[in-house]
Amino acid sequence: MKALEKYKIEQLFEKHKGFLHKQDLQKEGIESSLLAELLEKDWVILLHNSTYKWASYEPESELIEVQQILPDGVFCLATAWAFYELSTHTPSEYHVAFPDNKRPTLPDYPPIQTYHWRSHIWEIGITEKTLGNHHIKIYDLERCVCDAVRFRYKKGMDICKEVLQNYVRNPSRQPDLALDYAQVLKIKEPLKNYLEILL
C-alpha cells in the first residue's frame, strides 16, 4: 500500500470522526483487498460486523464505540444511572435498550446487556448527549428515575433508593415530566409516593 493511499484513508476516517461502516468504505471506493491489508497491518480495527475504527483513534468514552456498534440502541438502566451520577454502582456491562422488533447481534467485547421493549415504551425519554465529537442516545433523567422504580425488584431496592435520592438533589430534575412518563409506564403511584417522601 502506498503512503498516499494510507494517508487518504486515514483522512477519510478522520472526516468520519474515527469510525466507518463497511457501506461507507464501499461508497468511497475502498476495495475489500485494501481493507484486508489495513486490518492485517493493524491500522484499522474491526469492532463488530461492519463497524471499523482507525486504530490510533481513542474516543473520549467507550460509550461512543458501543453506540457505533449498535447505532439503534439507547443507553439505559445502570449505564444511564452511572452517566448521570444517579448511582455509584459501576455496571460490568453496558445496558442498551431496543424496540422489541430489533434483535442486533452483539460483539464479544465489550459486554453488553440488551433490553427489548414495545416501541411506545422504548421511545419515552430518548435524548442525545455529546461526548467529544460524537453523540450518544441515552434516556433522560426522568426516564432514568422511572426505570429505577420499574425495575426496583429486579435491580434492588437499594439502587432504586440511591437513584431517587440523587435525582431529587439534581437541580435539572423535572418531577412533573417524570410523573407523565410514569403514567405511561404504569408506575405513577409508587413514583409519586417516593417523590412525596423525598421532596
Burial of 167 (0-12, 13-18, 19+ CB in 10 A): buried
Show the 3-state SS of the chain: CCHHHHHHHHHHHHHCCCEEEHHHHHHCCCCHHHHHHHHHCCCEEEEECCEEEECCCCCCCHHHHHHHHCCCCEECHHHHHHHCCCCCCCCCCEEEEEECCCCCCCCCCCCEEEEEECHHHHCCCEEEEEECCEEEEEECHHHHHHHHHHCHHHHCHHHHHHHHHHHHHCCCCCHHHHHHHHHHHCCHHHHHHHHHHHC
Whole-angstrom distance, CA of residue 43 vs CA of residue 55: 5
Those residues of the chain that have pLDDT short of 70 are: 1-4
Residue 181's pLDDT is what? Answer: 98
10 residue type, one letter: E
Residue 90's pLDDT is what? Answer: 86
**Of 40, 10, 41, residue with least CA distance to 25:** 10
Whole-angstrom distance, CA of residue 39 vs CA of residue 94: 26
pLDDT digit string, tens, across residues 11-55: 999 998 999 998 888 888 888 888 889 899 999 999 988 899 999
Residue 3's pLDDT is what? Answer: 67
If you search the block for the grid coordinates 461492519, which residue do you land on?
50
Residue 117's pLDDT is what? Answer: 97
What pTM did the predictor assign? 0.89
Supply 191's cell numbers.
413514583
Whole-angstrom distance, CA of residue 64 vs CA of residue 60: 8
Residue 151's pLDDT is what? Answer: 98
Whole-angstrom distance, CA of residue 28 vs CA of residue 33: 14
